[in-house]
Structure 1
Amino acid sequence: MKKSLKGALLSALVFPGLGQLWLKRRLSGTVLLLTTLAALAVISAKLTDRAYRMVEQAEAEGGAVDLFAVARAAQAASFADRSIRVAWLVLMVAWLVGVLHAYLAGKQLEREQQEERQEGGGR
């Protein structure tokens, strides 16, 4: 499998930034990895906080906690909360950039290796 394809697949299917790290593009891989983790942390923290507040409210009112209702309300809140929408956008952009950058970095590495082989064979 070509390096460009393998790097793109690592970033697309496993985690953004892994393709860059595999291609030894450590800085861009680390930036993408940390950006993705930060976006996931914001989304997770906001939704967990929202669900926790809803459970507390249901308990305070003396009613039974309906976990499905909590999940639906937390999901609805994710579309209403601006910071969560921004975090989702950052996550999607990081994923897309990770795939495209890994593919292009892999192509560049393939070209450099091919040029080295041609120069070595011409001697």
Structure 2
Amino acid sequence: MKKSIYAAMLSGIVCPGSGQIWLGKKLLGWGFISVSVVCILVIMDQIISRAQVIAEQILAGNIGNDLTSIYAAVSNVALDASNSTMPALTWIFIVNWGLSVASAFWFGAQQDKQLQLQADSKTEA
């Protein structure tokens, strides 16, 4: 399998940045990984804080202890447009992932070309 395809698959399936690390572009790879981890941590923190608010309201008796009431409360929080951080972070995460796959493929293609040139020069000699 070509390095370009393998690196793109690593970045696309395993983790953004893993293909770059495999290709030897460690700083770039860790940059992609860092952006992904920060986005996931902030998104998870917001989700957990929203869930804690709902749990506190259930314990206080403001929300019924049945599935319909809990579902309605979760849906209202999910549709709340006052917090625009989550969609922005989600898009940053998706763009980061796409750029990671594209750059892994590009750097892998460059290495594939170098390997092909080396192989061609050996066969000519």
**CA offsets per residue over residues 101-123 of structure 1, 9 Å max, x none?**
00001000111112222333444
Aligned residues: 122
Counterparts of 1:97 and 1:110, CA distance in 2: 19
Shifted more, 53-62 versus 98-107: the winner is 53-62
Give the 4+ runs in structure 1 shifted more than 6 A.
none
Distance between the aligned counterparts of 1:30 and 1:120, measured in 2?
A: 35
Question: 1:101 aligned to 100, 103, 111, which one?
Answer: 103
1:105–1:70 Cα change, 3 Å: farther
Identity among equivalent pairs (%):
26
Q: CA deviation at 1:70?
A: 5.2
Could you tell me which amino acid in structure 2 is paired with residue 44 of structure 1?
A: M
TM-score by length of 2: 0.85
Unaligned runs of 5+ in 1: none
Structure 2 unaligned blocks of 5 or more = none
Match of 2:32 in 1: 32
Q: Compared with structure 1, are the counterparts of its residues 8 and 56 closer, same or farther at alpha carbon in structure 2 (3 Å cutoff)? A: same
Q: Equivalents in 2 of 1:72, 1:52: separation in Å?
A: 15
Aligned pair partner of 1:72 in 72, 75, 80: 75
2:24, 2:14 → 1: CA distance? 17
Aligned to 1:83: 85
SS at match of 2:79: helix
Conserved? CA contact 1:35–1:91, under 8 Å: yes
Partner of 1:55 in structure 2? 55
Scaled by the length of structure 1, what TM-score is found? 0.86
Aligned pair in 2 of structure 1 residues 116, 70: CA closer, same or farther (>3 Å)? farther
1:55 Cα shift? 0.8
